[in-house]
Amino acid sequence: MNAYVGTATSRVDGRAKVTGAAKYAGEFAADGLAHGFVVAATIPRGRIARLDTSETLKVKGVLDVLTHAHRPPLADKDEAWKDEVAPEEGSPFRPLYDDSIKFNGQPIALVVAEDWETAKFAATLVRVDYQEEQSFATDLEAERSKGAEVKQLHKPRGDAARALAGASVRHEADYFVPTEHHNPMELFATTTVWDGNGRLTVYDKTQGVQNVHKFLCSVFGKKPDDIRVLSPYVGGAFGSGLRPQYQVVLATLAALALERSVRVGLTRQQMYGLGHRPATIERVGLGAKPDGTLDAVTHEATAVTSRYEDFSRNDTGWAEQLYKSPNSRFSHKLVRLDVSTPCDMRAPGAASGVCALECAMDELAVALKLDPIELRLKSYSDRDQSEDLPYTSKQLRECYARGAEAFGWSRRNPAPRSMRDGKELVGWGMATGVWEALQMPVAARIVLTANGHAEVSCAASDIGTGTYTIVAQVAADALGLPIENISVRLADSTLPQAPVEGGSWMAASSAHAVLGAAEDIRQDLARLASTMPASPLGGVDAADVILVDGTISKNGDKGRAVSIADAMRYGKLERLEKQKLNQFAEDKSHARNTHSAVFAEVKVDEQLGVIRVTRVVSAVAAGRILNTKTGRSQIMGGVVWGIGMALHEETVMDHRFGRIMNPNIAEYHIPVNADIHDIDVIFVEERDDRINRLGVKGLGEIGIVGVPAAIANAVYHATGKRIRRFPITLDKLLD
Amino acid sequence: MINFQYSRATDVADAILLLAAHPGAKLIAGGTNLIDLMKENVEQPSRLIDISRLPLRKIEETADGGLRIGALVPNSDLAYHPLVEQRYPLLASAILAGASAQLRNMASVGGNLMQRTRCAYFYDTATPCNKQTPGSGCSAIDGRNRNHAILGTSASCIATNPSDMSVALAALGALVHIAGPSGERAMALTDFHRLPGDTPHIDTDLGTGEIITAIELPPRGFAHNYSYLKIRDRLSYAFALVSVAAALELEGDTISEARVALGGVAHKPWRSLEAETALRGQAATTDRFSRAADLLLRGATASSHNRFKIELARRAIVRTLTQAASATPQSQAHKKIA
């Protein structure tokens, strides 16, 4: 029965969030809580020659200053610092480990005081002398030639270079995506509570409590029972909380040093010293036959990484899933620079790589004098070409059709600068989006009590995406209970296993874990009910029994039912507890992806260059949508972010200092309400019986993919100017 | 942020006495800029003298039909005051183009005049800046200067004044009333802010120990033909790349009086009497507006990343004058540039 799954169910944690009852990592109190403030390096590369804390320690209320030379022991092997999503290559950053400076903004000391303001003031008194390394570099474009090829994710097919050179119509260009930062609303913070005898309860802002738990145990040489990590609510993270961040190490280090509870909160400025979407040069080449079918695709990404870790994502190769082409070649190069290691940021790889691919497709359509949708349909691929596999489902064709219809695409005059509204040029652009439909092993526990209430628990985080709500929906349906009778506990490292919440895999993964545990509950209840004296379910096969409306009932015959409460009373059961680890069957015979078609209207003031995105239609095919309300919000958020990526977002660095110059949300621009107009989200029906039992694919990332390209293509259509350097700010249109 | 002492002034005279007694002290009213700068350790006052409770919150008509605005009137109250909305809508519009509703509720009129540049190097104690540490050098001149000044710059500083309100006040010919150890004085708003020259650390001609008590608007309000147009990288909550305050009086199609002030382009609100003179007695046409733009921008110089601002300013001036002449001022509430 689906009373909740697939409906617009409001967030079960909504009230807690808007009333302030929901507590975040930096809000947990503890007796004798001390506060740590981070001192950050102001050079990009070198060594700490002298670190003088004597004035700091004189300040009343200061408890200690931790530095590389004054701290409890930390693990000395890279393996201990490698969390579950750390890059394979390299040595993870170790805060306060030694005197080396690897990036500007690196933490070099932690001032711990009785209160936050004292720590903050005392931190200004720490004196640092550096031995500066003069030969640092932070500019990707200047260092592009140093790009080194990383492991190829996609094998070349055919001879792309030759096909491209010989193509009757060819387009090849560089697209530049700058460094971007996640800027979640909630600031990074950790409250480490000293429970005595070396045991710690750690409230951390993270996308994965068990990842942080394992990491802390290995970094500090602790036994699993010594540390418990919780992150009940997360105010956005978008990838920045996938890896354990340095504040969790510092808070825990300080708690161990002082043997008392410590909170470390980062400022907005300090958060620019965490991970980021790496600046990337995307070089895309497309060759077409005279009829417009693709003959060659090349995509080479050159991206920034740090000097100490090789972070790379799948920027290239998305064309393998979208477009048929007999010849293709993909490569990913990394340039090691004096910056912190990049990290995943919403739709990592695809947000940048598909942006370049889809801008290039638009340029090819112009060169071929073809409608952009027609060009895409000519090479539409029903198979993932890199592995030559069919899809579990792929309703992209329907996304194009439904999106185009809702947008009114057929009324588009293809000529640039042909559409106007007063002083504004009007442009219509479109692009395709694609992401993976991943799923991971997750376990869930259900405790059903005789009063008809169930508690569902799992270590997964809800980073704001709505995991609490979909877990409650799936459990309510599977147990046949009203959603009010379901309580959900998440994000506690002692709860059943879950990986980090990322990659859009948590909806499908957690939902099926809940289904698995609920199935065991159902079987027990069916067995119990059938053995009751004069049971109406006597002789009914357990497989034919469902849980509905608080009863154990024969499927299709509500007359033959026993209430759950009666059955449990009969069995003298106060509670029925089941825990199940759900493992998805490995299926290498099909590719699994979500898709979208994004249509954007821009209006550009012809004289002043001011750009407005007045309409966006995003048609998404992502299997079954578990919750149309939170799902729509996910996609809308992705569209807003895509508008920011197209027009606003850029981490500005002064390469002379190797320093970020706009580390705040006044100067690092994201869209504000005034920049947002109509956003229409269409969920295209996509039945998928193969991918998993519920047919769920996940929605977190797909919302942003394609949006920046659709806007850039619309800007071209409006103005005739092709801007390949993001963000598209008005100065780029004034020339 | 460093530790500081705190005093609360009981009246204007007390504030002046406290300032004299505590070198290194700073006045605080709304604190919307000062506290930001203190958090960044850019401002490190030894003491804050809280003037927020002084009786400087009145908006009163003057004998000659102008308006006297107490220095502590919140920006929002000023923008929504009926007399300002009716007689000085240019000022209301400029204020509403600035910051956010929350900041405008906190920010005082006097504090708005005292706000400091948003140059990224000034805001970062780790980079050289002549405003922060005189003689340390200007990082912006060869650095990230996309939104820096194109007029009145010096070899020491290319920072801009970020205020929107001041741009309208400059166009309206406002006076700044000041009290200090040697009594009271008044000066034109256009003389209040300084060009950087070789002392970019001094933003204004407010003397040591002085306090702004009021702003005075002359009777002429340009309530019919005005517009404030702010061009920025997003449509709200961003500092101006260029802003223009235009105020005209028309007799038929002929301009009888003209005021044009620019924001976001210099260390102070930028006016050109020559440009305004060139508009007077002329027909309100695009050609004349272009000519005025040329005169306003005479001597404009670009740095490495802000050349576009010269042409943007030229076009924005023409657009704003066109809006003013046609009595269709730019709305600060609509999500579009008219």
Interface size, chain A vs chain B, as Cβ–Cβ contacts under 8 Å:
94
Residue B299 covered by a domain: yes
- Residue A640, helix vs strand vs coil: helix
Give per-residue pLDDT as tens, A220-246.
Answer: 999 999 999 999 999 999 999 999 999
A254 C-beta neighbours (distance < 10 Å), count: 29
Residue A117 to residue B236, Cβ atoms within 8 A: no
* Partners of residue A660 on adjacent β-strands: A653
Interchain contact B335–A (C-beta under 8 A): yes
Asked whether A189 and A266 are in contact (CB, 8 A), the reply is yes
Is B235 within 8 Å of chain A by CB?
A: yes
Minimal-distance CA residue of chain A relative to B40: A269
**Residue B307 domain flag:** yes
**Across the interface, do A672 and B236 touch by the CB < 8 Å criterion?**
yes
Cα–Cα distance for residue pair B27/B108, rounded to 1 Å: 12
Model pLDDT for residues B17-32, shown as the tens digit of each residue = 999 999 999 999 999 9
Residue B178 lies in a domain: no
Which residues, at least 6 apart from B284, have a Cβ–Cβ distance to it below 8 Å? Answer: B248, B250, B253, B254, B255, B321, B325
- Catalytic site residue A282? no
Report the share of chain A in percent with pLDDT over 70. 100
C-beta atoms of B41 and A657 within 8 A: no
Strands (DSSP E) found in chain B:
5-8, 25-28, 47-50, 59-61, 67-70, 175-180, 183-188, 211-217, 225-231, 242-251, 254-263, 270-271
Q: Which residues of A touch B120 (CB under 8 A)?
A: 652, 661-662, 667
Distance (Å) from the C-alpha of residue A581 to the closest C-alpha of chain B?
48
Q: What is the mean pLDDT of residues A297-314?
A: 97
Q: Do A672 and B234 touch (CB under 8 A)?
A: yes
Q: Is B327 near chain A, with CB under 8 Å? A: no
pLDDT score recorded for residue A153: 79
> Mean per-residue pLDDT for A185-193?
98
Using a CB-CB cut-off of 8 Å, the residues of chain B touching A609 are 312
CB contact under 8 A, B127 and A612: no
B279, part of any domain: yes
A277: its two tokens: 């979407």
Could you tell me the end-to-end alpha-carbon distance of chain B, in angstroms, rounded to an integer?
43
The pLDDT, as a whole number, for residue A1 is 57
In a domain, B200, yes or no: no
B60 occurs within a structural domain: no
Mutation target to probe the B interface, by most B beta carbons within 10 A, among A607, A673, A732 is A607
Q: Give the mean model confidence (pLDDT) for residues A67-85.
A: 98
Is B144 in the A-facing interface, judged by CB distances under 8 Å? yes
Does the distance separating the beta carbons of B335 and A674 come in below 8 Å?
yes
Shortest CA distance from A668: residue in chain B: B238
The domain in which residue B45 lies consists of 5-50
CB within 8 A of B45, min separation 6: which ones? Answer: B4, B24, B25, B26, B34, B38
Give exposure, B153-187, as e/b (b: 16+ Cβ within 10 Å). Answer: bbebbbbbbbbbbbbbbbbbbbbbbbbbeeeeeee
Residue A567 has pLDDT above 80, yes or no: yes
Residue A696 has φ and ψ, to the nearest 5°, of -100, 140
Q: State the pLDDT at residue B1.
A: 87
**Is residue A499 over pLDDT 70?**
yes
B161 pLDDT more than 60: yes
Which of B32, B50, B68 corresponds to the end of one domain?
A: B50
Give residue A703's pLDDT.
98
Q: Do B2 and A656 touch (CB under 8 A)?
A: no
Distances (CA, A) of B333 to A675, B94, B96, B338: 12, 12, 8, 11
Task: Nearest by CB to A669, from B41, B238, B335: name it.
Answer: B238
Number of domains present in the structure of chain B? 2
Query: Mean per-residue pLDDT for A640-666?
Result: 98
pLDDT in tens, A441-496: 999 999 999 999 999 999 999 999 999 999 999 999 999 999 999 999 999 999 99
- Mean pLDDT on A141-145: 98
pLDDT at A197 over 90: no
The phi, psi pair for A316, rounded to 5°, reads -105, 170
Q: Please check the confidence at residue A515 and state whether its pLDDT lies above 70.
A: yes
DSSP state of B297: T
For helices A628-647 and A350-368, give the axis angle rounded to 10 degrees.
70
The share of chain B scoring above pLDDT 70, in percent, equals 100
Looking at residue B248, which CATH number applies to its domain?
3.30.390.50
A605/B120 CB distance under 8 A: no
Q: Measured between CB atoms, does B231 come within 8 Å of chain A?
A: yes
Nearest by CB: B235 against A120, A675, A731: A675
Min distance A469 CA to chain B CA atoms (Å): 33
Task: Give the helix, strand, coil percentages of chain A, each rounded to 5.
Answer: 30, 30, 45
The whole-number pLDDT of residue A558 equals 87
Determine contact, residues A676/A683, Cβ cutoff 8 Å.
no
Q: pLDDT digits over B199-249, tens only?
A: 999 999 999 999 999 999 999 999 999 999 999 999 999 999 999 999 999
Q: Residue A152 pLDDT more than 80?
A: no
What is the nearest CA distance from B3 to chain A, expressed in angstroms? 6
Of the residues B124, B243, B320, the best mutation for testing chain A's interface (the one with the most A CB atoms within 10 Å of its CB) is: B124
Query: Which residues of chain B have a CB within 8 Å of the CB of A645?
Result: none
Would the pLDDT of B316 be above 80? yes
Site of tokens 């050289």: B128
Chain A residues with beta carbon closer than 8 angstroms to that of B244: none
pLDDT band at B168 (very low <50, low <70, confident <90, very high): very high
B204 touches chain A (CB under 8 A): no
B118 and A667 in contact by Cβ < 8 A? Answer: yes
Q: Domains of chain A (ranges plus CATH)?
A: 18-134+184-267 (3.90.1170.50), 280-438+589-734 (3.30.365.10), 440-582 (3.30.365.10)
Dmax (CA) for chain A in angstroms is 87
Here the ipTM equals: 0.97
Question: Any residues with CB less than 8 A from the CB of B206 and at least 6 apart, and which?
Answer: B114, B178, B192, B212
Nearest by CB: B144 against A647, A661, A677: A661
Chain A residues with CB under 8 Å of B316 CB are 608
- Interface probe, candidates A608, A655, A728, chain B, greatest B C-beta count within 10 A: A608
B-chain residues within 8 Å CB-CB of A667?
118, 120
Q: How far apart are CA A237 and CA A239, in angstroms?
A: 5
CB contact under 8 A, B335 and A117: no
Contact list, A423 vs chain B (CB under 8 Å)? 337-338
B135 occurs within a structural domain? no
Q: Which residues of A touch B331 (CB under 8 A)?
A: none
Tell me the pLDDT tens digit for each residue of A572-612: 999 999 999 999 998 999 999 999 999 999 999 999 999 99
Chain mean pLDDT for chain A: 97
Residue A54's alpha-carbon distances to A97, A127, A676, in angstroms, are 20, 9, 51
Residue B312 lies in a domain: yes
Catalytic residue among A300, A424, A601, A701: A701
Cβ proximity of B71 and B212 under 8 Å: yes
Two structure tokens written together for B283: 């027909």
pLDDT tens for A525-551 read 999 999 999 999 988 999 999 999 999
**What was the pLDDT predicted at A578?**
98
Residue A363: band (very low, low, confident or very high) from pLDDT cuts 50, 70, 90: very high
* Residue A190 pLDDT: 98
A556 Cβ contact list (under 8 Å, min separation 6):
none
CATH code of the domain covering residue B36: 3.30.43.10
Q: Which pLDDT score, from 0 to 100, does residue A35 have? A: 98
Phi, psi of A102 (to 5 degrees): -110, -20
